[in-house]
């Protein structure tokens, strides 16, 4: 086999149908980043170098009022290491207290500034700084290269000495969400999930993160009674890969979330990010609600390593079901060739090398006893020329069926399908939904039935907060039945007080309690109709 074919096969075995031209293109891009860094160093350029470490910064804004609720925000990071007033990263968002943001930064000292477009001229200037804090990034302080739960308090506007005008992007600011980071809610047809973007995530993670800084996506606003199902794609892929599954998913029972990550990046760091985002219980606190994780290909080993990060703390979220699909649990032998002979070495290729530390330490801890691992593998290789050992066209069976992964899995299922095709395999989807059905929501069947009927469809006045309007739209019927003791409470302390307040037995303590009492007073006929139909 000649060298060109070896390179082409090396791409295919990682599940990405890329031509050698793509590989050579990004090899040239990396060489150019290196050349620029040597001639004119900057922090902005440095974070694009694949052989340099960068830090993921996860944070949110805090404010006691809604002063900037309808104002676009720019969350920025400045450095003076190589150039004065160098803006190294920026995330644009809709204004709201609790706006989540993500930044990707190299080692160094940074000033984080939050701007608000107060005058509405689509330009952020130095008089519109509404939040600031300093941040020092180094390995000793953040050994996992993750900064989580970073908070920036928003205040009255101040004038910054960093005199720069930042233009609002021509395409505008990503749509705000009531609960998620700006730009999170998208359809699977969104251009963000196009092949050019997922390829960018392989070869230039820093550029990818400028478009997908928080790595978290959903299809709709949050509805807390539904079981979260987190879908994790493989190398060079995107959430769109799961379209055949999503199109058949029971959306009354499940809320699909997506971990959309730069798949060429360091897998240990990505696993840390997954843990901090979904499992730690700090960014997304779920209480007793269980989680289902469905991961394809390399996504399976990212999740498996994230499960190693669990600390057994009470506030951590509980993954009850982990379904891996055609995952290379023993690494991939072609990754060693890519590491030894490639023009550029992706961190993910290095970690997929069976001889490297990441794979060898993947099973250092058993899965927690509450995690059920269902291991799905594929064994159909439809290629005319079959190379190497038995595989699904991409991943060797010996890697999918790694002995330690099999030992820790509750069940193993094989499918006569290829590595990519398995995500649309009818038998696989049927089996997936069957094992998912064993995970029960914390809400009773009667509660789920009431929630499935919907909530209050009429428009509410501005006396109600946007979050309450959303809640009443899908859960007002449930809340009425809860308030009148027709349904057992789930979150017992909070629900018990809610019931007593709704019945006038104790004073209302929360905004929701006060708004629900107002709702019952304004719409008594609707409330009575719910009770009569129960």
Helix segments in 315-462, DSSP class H: 333-341, 347-352, 357-360, 397-400, 403-408, 426-436, 445-452
CA 175 to chain CA mean position, Å: 17
In this predicted structure, what is the pLDDT of residue 489? Answer: 83
Q: Quick one: pLDDT at residue 15?
A: 39
Distance, CA of 215 to CA of 230 (rounded, Å): 12
Tell me where in the chain the CATH 3.40.50.1820 domain(s) lie: 191-436
In the 8-state DSSP scheme, what is residue 156?
S
pLDDT score for 1: 36
> 């029960």: which residue's tokens?
440
Number of H helices, E strands in the chain: 19, 16
Location of each CATH 2.60.40.10 domain in the chain:
54-167
Axis-axis angle for helices 524-533, 511-522 (nearest 10): 90
Ramachandran region, residue 393 (left: φ > 0; alpha: ψ -120 to 50; beta: rest)? left
pTM beyond 0.85, yes or no: yes
For residue 7, what pLDDT is reported? 36
Instruction: Give the span between the Cα atoms of 479 and 489, in whole angstroms.
Output: 10
Per-residue pLDDT of the chain (534 residues; tens, 9 = 90+): 333 333 333 344 443 434 457 878 888 999 999 999 999 999 999 999 999 999 999 998 887 667 777 788 999 999 999 999 999 999 988 766 567 899 999 999 999 999 999 999 999 999 999 999 999 999 999 999 999 889 999 999 999 999 899 998 876 455 678 888 888 999 999 999 999 999 999 999 999 999 999 999 999 999 999 999 999 999 999 999 999 999 999 999 999 999 999 999 999 999 999 999 999 998 899 999 999 999 999 999 999 999 999 999 999 999 999 999 999 999 998 876 666 666 678 899 999 999 999 999 999 999 999 999 999 999 988 764 445 568 888 999 999 999 999 999 999 999 999 999 999 999 999 999 999 999 999 998 889 999 989 899 889 999 999 889 999 999 999 999 999 999 888 777 788 899 999 999 999 999 999 999 999 999 999 999 999 998
Cβ atoms of residues 246 and 219 within 8 Å: yes
Task: Give the HSE-up count for residue 268: Cα atoms under 13 Å, Cβ half-sphere.
Answer: 15
CB of 347 closer than 8 Å to CB of 267: yes
- Which segments of 394-523 does DSSP mark as H helices, in order? 397-400, 403-408, 426-436, 445-452, 466-483, 492-502, 511-522
pLDDT at 3: 39
Q: Which CATH superfamily does the domain covering 191-436 fall into?
A: Alpha/Beta hydrolase fold, catalytic domain (3.40.50.1820)
- How many other CB atoms sit within 10 Å of the CB of residue 330? 23
Closest CA to 20 of 30, 29, 32, 10: 10
**May I ask the CATH class of domain 54-167?**
mainly beta
In the 8-state DSSP scheme, what is residue 145? S
At residue 383, the pLDDT reads 62
Whether the Cβ atoms of residue 419 and residue 394 lie closer than 8 Å to each other: yes
Residue 297 and residue 329 in contact, taking contact as beta carbons nearer than 8 Å: no
Please tell me whether residue 58 adopts helix, strand or coil conformation. Answer: strand
Question: From its phi and psi, is residue 138 left (phi > 0), alpha (psi between -120 and 50) or beta?
Answer: beta
């Amino acid at each position: 086999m000649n060298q060109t074919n070896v390179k082409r096969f090396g791409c295919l075995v990682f599940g990405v149908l890329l031509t050698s031209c793509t590989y050579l293109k990004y090899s040239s891009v990396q060489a150019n980043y290196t050349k620029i860094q040597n001639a004119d160093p900057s922090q902005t350029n440095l974070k694009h170098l694949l052989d340099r470490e960068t830090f993921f910064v996860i944070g949110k804004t805090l404010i006691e009022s809604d002063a900037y609720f309808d104002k676009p925000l720019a969350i920025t990071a400045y450095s003076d290491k190589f150039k004065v007033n160098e803006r190294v990263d920026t995330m644009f968002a809709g204004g709201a207290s609790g706006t989540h943001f993500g930044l990707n930064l190299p080692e160094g000292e940074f000033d984080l500034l939050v701007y608000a477009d107060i005058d509405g001229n689509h330009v952020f200037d130095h008089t519109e700084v509404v939040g600031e804090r300093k941040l020092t990034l180094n390995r000793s302080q953040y050994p996992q290269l993750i900064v989580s739960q970073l908070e920036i308090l928003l205040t009255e506007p101040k004038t910054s000495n960093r005199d720069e005008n930042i233009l609002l992007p021509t395409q505008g600011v990503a749509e705000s969400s009531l609960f998620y980071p700006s730009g999170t809610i998208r359809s699977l047809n969104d251009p963000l999930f196009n092949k050019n973007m997922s390829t960018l995530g392989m070869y230039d993670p820093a550029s990818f993160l400028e478009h997908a800084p928080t790595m978290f996506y959903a299809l709709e606003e949050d509805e807390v009674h539904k079981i979260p199902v987190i879908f994790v794609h493989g190398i060079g892929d995107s959430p769109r890969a799961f379209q055949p599954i999503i199109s058949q998913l029971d959306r009354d029972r499940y809320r699909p979330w997506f971990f959309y990550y730069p798949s060429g990046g360091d897998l240990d760091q990505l696993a840390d990010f997954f843990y901090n985002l979904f499992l730690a219980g700090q960014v997304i606190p779920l209480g007793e609600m269980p989680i289902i994780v469905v991961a394809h290909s390399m996504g399976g080993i990212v999740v498996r390593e994230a499960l190693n990060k669990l600390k057994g703390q009470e506030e951590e979220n509980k993954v009850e079901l982990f379904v891996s699909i055609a995952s290379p649990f023993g690494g991939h032998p072609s990754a060693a060739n890519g590491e030894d002979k490639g023009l550029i070495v992706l961190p993910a290729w290095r970690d997929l090398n069976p001889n490297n530390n990441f794979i060898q330490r993947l099973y250092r801890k058993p899965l927690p006893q509450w995690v059920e691992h269902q291991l799905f593998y594929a064994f159909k290789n439809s290629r005319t020329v079959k190379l190497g050992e038995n595989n699904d066209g991409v991943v060797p069976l010996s890697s999918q069926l790694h002995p330690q992964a099999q030992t820790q899995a509750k069940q193993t299922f094989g499918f006569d399908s290829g590595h990519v095709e398995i995500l649309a395999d009818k038998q696989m989807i049927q089996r997936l939904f069957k094992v998912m059905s064993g995970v029960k929501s914390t809400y009773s069947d009667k509660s789920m039935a009431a929630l499935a009927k919907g909530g209050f469809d009429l428009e509410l006045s501005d006396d109600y907060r946007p979050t309450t309007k959303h809640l009443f739209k899908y859960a007002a019927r449930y809340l009425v039945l809860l308030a009148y003791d027709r349904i057992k409470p789930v979150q017992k302390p909070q629900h018990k007080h809610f019931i007593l307040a709704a019945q006038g037995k104790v004073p209302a303590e929360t905004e929701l309690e006060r708004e629900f009492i107002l709702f019952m007073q304004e719409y008594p006929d609707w409330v009575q109709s719910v009770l009569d139909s129960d």
